[in-house]
Chain A
């Protein structure tokens, strides 16, 4: 493949990376909203506040685990 052909692919690669980057950056914001809703829903349905906080920490753990997994797979990418 010639360099001029490669150049035609560059915009798409950049678009892909940008979209994934935006998703990565907005994950925390989305998660904060989800966590708040999750906690409120627990309390609204009769779970004590202490327990709700503990459970929402578990929910947060899942997000952290996801981030770690993604980062480690990027690092392990050949």
Chain B
């Protein structure tokens, strides 16, 4: 499977990445190479192997349900570009 320029633009848009027009071709070719590698791996017969969700062969540790955090709003909002009434302000979003 080869990646076309449109695919690169779509992926970049979904990931909110800005790509210069002159870079599109080279990304398409790099990503296509990766896909070649993936296809190569797909050749291996894995029919009797259970898919794994995580490389670590362990299960999730759980946390007791207690409130441990206190209000750190002032500190956490120090690097926000705009705040008001305790809210983060962002460019207007319309649904």
Chain A bound to chain B:
no
